[in-house]
A and B are shown apart, each in its own frame.
Chain A
Amino acid sequence: MDHAIAVHDLVVERGRRRVLHGVSCAVPRGSVTGLLGPSGSGKTTLMRAVVGVQTVRSGSVTVLGRPAGAASLRSRVGYLTQAPSVYADLTVRENARYFAVLQGRGRAEADRAVADVGLAEAAGQLVGTLSGGQRSRASLACALVGEPELIVLDEPTVGQDPVLRADLWARFHALAATGTTLLVSSHVMDEAARCDRLLLIREGRLIADDTPDAVRAAAGVDDLDEAFLRLIRAGGTVGGTGGSADPPRGATRPGDAAGGRS
């Protein structure tokens, strides 16, 4: 299978603490993959490794066929940080236009990205005067503006009202339908059901890598929240990158929690 992201045995330490313990996973192209887990589980660290800004201890991350962080990837990968990283003292439009130029795009693309996140009316407003939800959408517009092949979004829907959240997810799927790959993190389980595939991560270990249906089937419940809980209690891993579910395996050695390589 052609993978947009392939992570192999990734170990990351921040300070003296080990944040990722040998994570392996793969993200297929043209899909929306959810990266779910409680806060502090290592989601952001994994995403930073994918966009190539995280110092890694060992293991490899391959993105669109190149090592993560390679110079040639900078125009092919879009990254939304968890805290909105836009200039508060510029307007939404000015922000989008600046990031558009960095990605070799023009004003039209910038204005379209602003409209796509529902900020057309606030385009002339300073980002510093926006609400928290609007501000993170302004940041999202700047990540989408270059029409990258891979979009890495760290909690893009936090603070958005339900209607906007539904709109944003529809937008993500529309992008995936055109061949774009999206890796979207969330700590809200009801968003997991909207993903084509799920990566469940806890305490720096991957505990599931499968479709939402397969995760439900593996745990034997319909509710993904409950399924996640059961998987944690079972302490096991499910699934592979092929899409079919393996039953949870109870006796997994620590450090081999990556799953999918049975």
Chain B
Amino acid sequence: MSPRILAATTGRILRQLRHDRRTVALLVVVPALLLTLVNFMYADQPTPPGRPSMFDRVALVLLGVFPFVIMFLVTSIAMLRERTSGTLERLLTTPLGRLDLLFGYGIAFGVAAAGQAAIAAAVAYWVFGLSTAGSSALVIGIAVVNAVLGVALGLFCSAFARTEFQAVQFMPVVVIPQLLLCGLFVARDEMAGWLQAVSYALPLSYAVEALQEVGAHADPTGTMWRDLGVVAGAVVLALVLAAATLRRRSG
């Protein structure tokens, strides 16, 4: 790995994003619109005594999950383009290291996700009065780690798609089961034993638990740090797997 090449690669990916103004606009506007939708959905729902309101529960999880989903999609398409346009083959004939490329994507889209999460959080807290016991900075931080998880999984999954049609179909495969089992719809300890086991094997479950910890406790808890550690471990694992799919030689 070379810091110079990593910096140039990160800059190149951000520059590509910047030239695509509509994508930037969508990244900024869509989470805010969805939060608005959620706000109206739960406007008349009674809040059970002693529990956070439905909006608080759902919006908090949405803030963390949205960057994961979007960055997974954006990365799988971007990496698939590198593979199909020949730029990847060309890059691999240059002194660029595989980790320069993978970390470049992780950092560039992590930065984009940080911007997205900050704007979405601002809307949730200031416009819709989201309240969490813990700090909003932690919520944004967890959102960014989730986004990097999405990037890492996207880099890995793009190796199994030959077309963009195939690539987008990995989204439901990778994202929806994690979303269903993460404890948002049914609390994890109320699920059947085997579903609980599956849920414990999926990184998004830990990300959502970390967010819920921030929602319920004023100070960062040990559970939250452990959960973040698990998500970070999943990022490293996905990056290692992605590196294994980048072969300098092919048939």
Which among B12, B86, B249, B250 is the interface contact of A98 at CB below 8 angstroms? B12
Question: Contact at A89–B93, with CB atoms within 8 Å?
Answer: no
Check A254 for interface membership: any CB of B closer than 8 A: no
Rounded to whole Å, the gap between the CB of A182 and the closest CB of chain B is 16
List, in ascending order, chain B residues with CB within 8 A of A101's CB. 4-5, 8
Q: A9 vs B42: C-alpha distance in the bound complex, in angstroms? A: 72
Number of interface residues of B (CB under 8 A): 25
Tell me the count of chain A residues lying within 8 A, CB to CB, of chain B: 34
B74 is an interface residue with CB less than 8 A from chain A: no
Could you tell me if B94 and A85 are in contact, using CB atoms closer than 8 angstroms?
no
Q: How far is the CA of A85 from the CA of B19 in the complex (A)?
A: 18
Number of A-B residue pairs with CB-CB distance less than 8 Å in the complex they form: 78
B162 lies within 8 A of chain A by Cβ: no
A126: nearest chain-B partner, CB-CB:
B19
- A85 and B85 in contact, given A52-B248, A53-B248, A90-B16 (Cβ under 8 angstroms): yes
B19, A53: Cβ atoms closer than 8 Å: no
Are B8 and A85 in contact (CB-based, < 8 A)?
Answer: no
Shortest CB distance A123–B (Å): 15
Determine if B249 and A52 form an interchain contact, defined as CB atoms under 8 angstroms apart. Answer: yes
* A interface residue numbers (CB < 8 A to B): 13-15, 51-55, 69, 71, 74-75, 77, 79, 81, 83-91, 94, 98-99, 101-104, 126, 142, 146
B-to-A contact residues, CB < 8 Å: 4-5, 8-9, 11-12, 15-16, 19-20, 85-87, 89-96, 248-251
Apart from A87-B85, A102-B8, 10 more pairs, CB < 8 Å: A15-B251, A54-B251, A55-B250, A69-B248, A79-B90, A89-B20, A90-B12, A101-B5, A102-B95, A103-B95
